[in-house]
Structure 1
Amino acid sequence: YDVILERCINHSRALYTLALLNAWGVRTVNTAHVADVCGNKFTTTLALIGHGVPCPRTLIAYTPESALEAIETLGYPVVLKPAVGSWGRLLSKINDREAAEAVLEHKTVLGSYHHSIFYIQEYIAKPQRDIRTFVVGDETICGIYRVSEHWITNTARGGEALNCPITPQIDALSRAAAQAVGGGVVAIDILERPNGEMLVNEVNYTMEFRNSIDTTGVDIPGKVVDYVLRVGKGEV
């Protein structure tokens, strides 16, 4: 094969397959490195911080006691997330100590790997929306607002997609985030503080765009295919 485009939404299958293909010398979009970094919120955050990309304050804890300490260090409200996950699932907005103690107890009793690592992030009081941009190679091709009255704005959770004009600020932040994780074809989730400051929340390496093609008027799959062909020819 000259190049393979990975579109599997199962992270483990995608990562292992990409690692195998890359070990064989097969070009892939994206690479195993990008999948490895983006498939875990902790490693994504490390990559963003390491490249000077602004992101929400984040703490990691491994026990309920240290998680509670981390939560109170950040200050209420906070958002508790699984380190590995997507589509806005298993997120908790924790507003006070009683809620923190209850959620931490529940996660401890559940006992699985996903509940044993506490990824704790400051809550950003965004304006009932976040921004998702789509980066292909070194170009931010388009973006959407994901609008919801609920604090979780994912379209998978009922958020409405509206076109988001790509300003120079959004473009620079999106491309910086993409390069921080290794480049390729990625979607960048951006949060806005009340003062207008923008922060990168997550980077998605198997980006979904069903609700974004008509919304933006951009042929997203066509842009992706053009980039993949360039990778296959060794042009990028």
Structure 2
Amino acid sequence: MKSKFYCLHEGYYEGVALRLQQFEEACNRKGVVFCAIDSLQADYSALPEPGVDDLLYNSCRGSEMLEDLLLNNEVKTIYRQTPSLRPHNVDTIPFSLLLDKHDIKAPKTIYKINRNDSYLKKYVEVLGGFPIILKTRSSTRGIGTIKVESWPSLISTVDYLTSIGQEFIMRSFIRARRGCRLIVLGNEVIASAVFRMQEGDFRNAATPGAPVYESMNLSDQLNNEAVRASHLANFDFSGVDFLEDEEGNFFLLEVNNPTGFSALIDVCGVDIPGKLLDYMLEK
């Protein structure tokens, strides 16, 4: 009996259709049955039961509940230890906290904000002064990441976010000359690329079509940091993002899963979906 690759998604937001197509093509090459399940269209009274020969991957945001329902101790996943429930859903901030606790170099962060002027002033001092970054929980592609350059802007923005019940963190601003995405699979980085920061915008992915990647082999130290970060987050497959400042220092920004990888397939000349399937089949 052929293995089935249960590829979960929720609708077709930007990039998802291409990602599904790439997975389906990889499955056809590997002799695996491709089973895409849209969490918006699934029959939750008659869900499949993935078995020991099957693979389960949640390919995008929004389908976490569906993944929770299909996870079991038999199906092969991209987790180092398969959880009963997917941890933290799509929020990358707990992973940042985890990296902090293991001394992986990242932007300095205040994880819980006390709305008190004396505390806010202290936070700004600890973070090295303005500008600082506010990042909302569960934000993606730069939406919800705010650069604040003055005290009046800070207190008005904090007041607004607090009034709508939006949780957020404060983070030091890195004057980045470029960013990097490293695709981790198992114990190695299988693809890595850099991108220049967008002119007129400090965020790397907010502009449609951005970022534009350029393949580049990065240092063993950076690759090892990416693998270590992915493993700490319990992922065998992830996209790890770094920022490089103007002095050449690298700061680990996020561990992403689900992660975008489509642009790196051609840029790096790596069959990322195929390698992922091989890895999961051999698990």
TM-score by length of 2: 0.71
Q: CA deviation at 1:41?
A: 3.1
- 1:119-151 CA-partner distances (Å, limit 9, x unpaired): 111111111x21010001111001111222221
Secondary structure of 2:263's counterpart equals coil
Aligned twin of 1:215: 267
Residue 212 of structure 2 aligns to which amino acid in structure 1? E
Aligned twin of 2:171: 121
Match of 1:143 among 180, 186, 192: 192
Is there any run of 5+ residues in structure 1 with no aligned partner, and where?
A: 232-236
More helix by share: 1
In the alignment, is the contact (CA less than 8 A) between 1:18 and 1:32 conserved in 2?
Answer: no
Q: Alignment length, in residue pairs?
A: 224
Q: CA deviation at 1:82?
A: 1.1
Secondary structure of 2:278's counterpart equals helix
In the alignment, is the contact (CA less than 8 A) between 2:180 and 2:195 conserved in 1?
Answer: yes
Q: CA deviation at 1:72?
A: 4.4
Aligned positions of 1:20-59 closer than 5 A: 20-23=69-72, 25-30=74-79, 31-32=82-83, 35-37=86-88, 39-59=90-110
Match of 1:195 among 228, 247, 261: 247
Structure 1, 70-79 or 181-190: larger mean CA deviation: 70-79
Is there any run of 5+ residues in structure 2 with no aligned partner, and where?
A: 1-50
- Supply the RMSD in Å over aligned alpha carbons: 2.4
Q: CA deviation at 1:85?
A: 1.9
Q: 1:229 to 1:23 in 2, by over 3 A?
A: closer
Percent of pairs identical after alignment?
23
Higher RCO structure, 1 or 2 (CA under 8 Å, sep 6+): 1
In the alignment, is the contact (CA less than 8 A) between 1:34 and 1:183 conserved in 2?
Answer: no
Q: CA deviation at 1:206?
A: 0.9
In the alignment, is the contact (CA less than 8 A) between 1:34 and 1:205 conserved in 2?
Answer: no
Q: 1:25 to 1:156 in 2, by over 3 A?
A: farther
- 1:50-102 CA-partner distances (Å, limit 9, x unpaired): 33321111002344336734234322111111121211111101111121122
CA distance in structure 2 between the partners assigned to 1:195 and 1:43 by the alignment:
28
- 1:205-234 CA-partner distances (Å, limit 9, x unpaired): 111112111111111111111111112xxx
Secondary structure of 1:190's counterpart equals strand
CA distance in structure 2 between the partners assigned to 1:87 and 1:146 by the alignment:
14
Q: CA deviation at 1:197?
A: 2.0
Aligned positions of 1:173-184 closer than 5 A: 173-184=225-236
Aligned twin of 2:39: none
